[in-house]
């Protein structure tokens, strides 16, 4: 069947159903009720909406409330981790959790271990020196209930950012710093989304 024929067939069937619904009001009402029940059964809701978490008794017990109640421990790191990237991860997580809403009582603690690695991705032709690098930030995190000292969730997150290498020393230092900060922001967004997903299903 060609496309025009298929369109004509579909239109004919739709018009037939419409005429039947008009001649049988009961059918139209039944269709409306069925549609309403289907929409009522839908459980999709905004992740950061004002509706309480699943199974919550307190109507103010929202995902955003839980996120704002997380205390971020000083980020542990191995040797060689750029302090700017570590600070960027901490500050970005603080903003994403609290959203400028102040600092309520902290019910949870987030512990993070951070690692950083750099690798060459290109070599300058005839000079045998790197032309670009990739910066990878790896993290392992644990969410703990402060009252019971119970581990609620664990996870890993990583991100990679690249930067160019030139014969300008200070430009290279700045480019490396920027790459670490970019990767840290991506990791922060990923951790925040995963922790929010945890609270949304509790």
Residue 46 belongs to a domain: no
Residues 24 and 101 in one domain: no
Residues 35 and 107 in one domain: no
Residues 126 and 157 in one domain: yes
Task: Output the pTM of the full model.
Answer: 0.70
Residues 33 and 109 in one domain: no
Give, for all 202 residues of the chain, the pLDDT tens digit: 554 555 455 556 545 655 655 445 555 545 455 445 444 444 545 555 555 544 443 546 789 999 999 999 999 887 677 889 999 999 999 999 998 766 778 999 999 999 999 888 877 665 667 788 899 999 999 999 999 999 999 999 999 999 988 888 899 899 999 999 999 999 999 999 999 999 999 8
Residues 104 and 16 in one domain: no
What is the per-residue pLDDT for 21? 52
Residue 81 belongs to a domain: yes
Residue-wise over 177-196: b if at least 16 C-beta within 10 A, else e?
A: bebbbbbbbbbbebbbeebb
What is the per-residue pLDDT for 193? 96
Q: Which domain holds residue 19?
A: 3-40
Other CB atoms within 10 Å distance of the CB of residue 77: 18
Residue 85 belongs to a domain: yes
Say how many domains are in the chain.
Answer: 2
Residue 121 belongs to a domain: yes
């Amino acid at each position: 069947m060609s496309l025009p024929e298929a369109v004509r067939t579909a239109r004919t069937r739709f018009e037939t159903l419409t005429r039947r619904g008009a001649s049988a009001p009961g059918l139209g009402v039944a269709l409306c009720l069925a549609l309403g029940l289907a929409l009522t059964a839908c459980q999709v809701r905004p992740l950061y909406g004002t509706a309480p978490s699943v199974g919550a008794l307190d109507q103010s017990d929202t995902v955003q409330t839980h996120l704002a109640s997380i205390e971020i421990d000083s980020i542990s790191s191995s040797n060689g981790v750029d302090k700017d990237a570590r600070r960027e991860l901490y500050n970005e997580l603080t903003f994403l959790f609290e959203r400028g809403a102040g600092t309520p009582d902290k019910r949870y603690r987030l512990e993070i271990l951070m690692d950083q690695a750099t690798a060459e991705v290109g070599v300058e032709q005839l000079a045998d020196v790197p032309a670009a690098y990739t910066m990878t930030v790896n993290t392992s995190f644990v969410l703990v209930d402060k009252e019971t000292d119970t581990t609620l969730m664990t996870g890993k997150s990583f991100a990679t950012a690249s930067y160019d290498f030139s014969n300008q020393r200070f430009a290279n230092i700045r480019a490396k710093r920027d790459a670490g900060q970019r990767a840290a922001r991506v990791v922060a967004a990923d951790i925040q989304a995963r922790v929010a997903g945890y609270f949304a299903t509790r």
